[in-house]
Amino acid sequence: MPDHKKLRAHPSMQRFGRGLMEPSLWHLNRRSVSLALALGLFIGFMPILGQTIVAAALAIYFRVNLPVAVLGSWISNPFTFALIYFYAYKVGAWILQVPIGAYSFEMTWEWFQTDLLQIWQPFLLGCLVCGIIAAALGVLFVRLLWRLMVIRSWLARRRKRG
């Protein structure tokens, strides 16, 4: 992790004040990392602009690991967002028991006025459900991995001693 003194002294960081220097935003512990990943994954599934900024702001608010939250939000990126949002739409349509239509995405005002108005409910519900599931799986994954690393460390110390 970056040295807090060097980070605090950097001129570009001065404008953010002391809030960004909160140690809990940079510490690596099981709680902070697992909750930060959950937050980042949840935000990554939400169809909003500025997911990275939202994830960073929420990480600061909830005092979880800032870099992990930001990295988690990058699950939706220019390469994955179409697949993620299509799958989220399918999940929402399945939950609402709505037939899946054959829609083609176009970044035009006409598409937003016609096609999006027909699919917004299953789409948003699917994003919410997939975000919650991804967040829960992220917490479980980090905590399980953390536990396995601790057990491995214990066993290595035991072997070293005797």
pLDDT at 146 over 90: yes
Q: What average pLDDT does this structure show over 98-126?
A: 76
For residues 43 and 83, give the distance between their C-alpha atoms in angstroms, rounded to a whole number: 16
8 A C-beta contact, residue 40 and residue 68: yes
Per-residue pLDDT tens digits for 103-113: 665 666 776 67
Q: What angle do CA 142, 146, 147 make, to 5 degrees?
A: 120
pLDDT interval class at 101 (50, 70, 90): confident
pLDDT at site 72: 95
Q: What angle do CA 55, 57, 62 make, to 5 degrees?
A: 90
8 A C-beta contact, residue 119 and residue 29: no
Per-residue pLDDT tens digits for 44-97: 999 999 999 999 889 988 989 999 999 999 999 989 988 999 899 999 999 999
φ, ψ dihedrals at 66, nearest 5°: -65, -50
pLDDT at site 114: 72
pLDDT at site 84: 93
